Amino acid sequence: MTKPLLSFEFFPPRTDAQSRRFWQTLGCLETLNPEWFSVTYGALGSASNASQDTVAQLCKQSDKPIAAHLTCAGQTRAQLLTTLQQFKEMGVRHIVALRGDSTPEGSRSKYYTLRFGLELVELIAEVGDFDISVAAYPEVHPEAESAQSDMKVLKLKFDAGASRALTQFFFEPEVFLRWRDAAVKQGIDGELIPGILPIHNIDKVIEFSRRCGASVPTPLIDRFNSANTELAARQMSIEHCVDLCQSLRHEGVEKFHLYTLNQSDLSYEVAKSLLGVKAGSVAA
């Protein structure tokens, strides 16, 4: 089996302490020679400055390609075109095009604003110059009318110019594999990259999963709750992620997108194990 290709997702640091941890994490993960890094973008442009600043610094300081997330909810075409131009000037060639989560303020805007991720994909494709990734939901986006309509939207995004979909996290391989089958049936032939979330804190994961429509299997929750020490929980998390990815690799999955939460430890250990990197050596 060839080595998998990995990408790592970060959020923009907002404080000095977060910034220190961000750069440490990045430096650590960079040694594993990932395919690219990505930086999230706050919905409704709320964290746009932090995100753009982080992307600008990363473009200067890392020799890895940087994917900039961009959300369109509540933003006008003109605002989005300006941001795209700024990203282009920084050297960004890859945009993760997202809707973001709307707020009542956003939807009350008196200006015409983009409503769906698809409209952003269309806008970016019109501009040209960018490789486009989009989000996808193996367990269906919580606002979708149905699994079928969610999949149709994804197909439209590929038709509009997206090259790959990065999925919401999930915890069982079958969830991704069933969804991948449905995507292929829908005629999608672009890259489908699983989003992998190492579990740092099971309670927070349960809470977040409830909001984004992902399910956390009860046996997994029970295993974490029975861990006696932090070290045992950490080991469990690494093993679970590695097993999940290895099962997917046996089904032909070659790329993984890791949600780092700006913490290097678990993502680093998972990635090292997937790449077969021994302690003390550097990934090829």
Among 64, 141, 180, 240, binds ligand FAD (CB under 6 A): 141
- Rank residues 43 and 80 by Cβ distance to ligand FAD and give the closer one: 43
Determine the interface stretch with ligand FAD among 81-89, 149-157, 179-187, 267-275 (rule: CB under 6 A).
149-157
Q: Is 230 a catalytic site residue?
A: no
**CB 152, min distance to ligand FAD, A:** 8
**CB 143, min distance to ligand FAD, A:** 4
Among 135, 160, 197, 253, binds ligand FAD (CB under 6 A): 135
- Rank residues 87 and 277 by Cβ distance to ligand FAD and give the closer one: 87
- Rank residues 41 and 277 by Cβ distance to ligand FAD and give the closer one: 41
Considering the rule CB under 6 A, would residue 164 count as an interface residue with ligand FAD?
Answer: no
Considering the rule CB under 6 A, would residue 75 count as an interface residue with ligand FAD?
Answer: no
Rounded to whole angstroms, the Cα distance separating 181 from 198 reads 25
Site residues for ligand FAD, 184-223, by CB under 6 A, read: 195
Residues taking part in catalysis: 9
Q: Which chain residues interact with ligand FAD by CB under 6 A?
A: 40-43, 69, 71, 96, 98-101, 116-118, 135, 141, 143-144, 149-150, 153, 166, 168, 195
